[in-house]
Amino acid sequence: MKRLLYCLIALALTSCGIYSFSGTSIQPDEQTVCIPFAEYTALRVNPSLSNDLTEALRTRFRKMTRLEQVEMDGDLELECTITGYDVSATAVTADEVAARNRLTVAVKLVYTNRKHPESSLTQNFSAYSDYDSTNSLDAVESSLCVEIIDKLVEDIFNATVAQW
């Protein structure tokens, strides 16, 4: 009896074509995704951030969805703009000196779903990572950006195709 119940549940989950075990909610008629290079409009410049964010998004969609990536006119399109890249003090010592600093990256996403326009959205995302102020930003920037990009990609993926 349990075996029959498990088979019915598995059949129900796979037959609708919407749910997948990777956690995505992609409709059966959505076949392609377009992820153009992220535009960079932040005042402080990180020359590799746009490329790194774009490639991380493309990799996530390639690994976690069945969507074919296309250069233009995809069923789904994710246009990202890096709007902020800022460093601020987060912990101040008794001598009013920063003990820890925070690198924050802000991204504006315009997600267009051409097959199901009601799923389209425009949303701002931000992620940060803290570092000890005895380190210069140049010394830790690369590792901080990897961590921040991972957080941003997770949030963007969840807001678009995982819809969590």
CATH class of 30-162: alpha beta
**Mean per-residue pLDDT, 125-134:** 95
30: left (phi > 0), else alpha (psi -120 to 50), else beta?
beta
**Mean per-residue pLDDT, 28-51:** 96
Q: Would the pLDDT of 19 be above 90? A: no
Does residue 39 contact residue 50 with C-beta atoms inside 8 Å?
yes
pLDDT at position 97 is 72
Output the CA torsion sign for 62, 63, 65, 66: positive
Q: Would the pLDDT of 124 be above 70? A: yes
100 C-beta neighbours (distance < 10 Å), count: 14
Q: Which structure tokens are listed for 4?
A: 């029959």
- DSSP 8-state code for residue 38: P
Q: What is the pLDDT of residues 55-101, one digit of tens each?
A: 999 999 999 999 999 999 999 999 999 999 999 988 776 677 778 99
Domain boundaries, the chain: 30-162
Exposure of 79 in the CB half-sphere (CA atoms within 13 A): 10
The percentage of residues in the chain with a pLDDT greater than 70, rounded to a whole number, is 82
pLDDT at position 92 is 74
Does residue 117 contact residue 152 with C-beta atoms inside 8 Å?
no
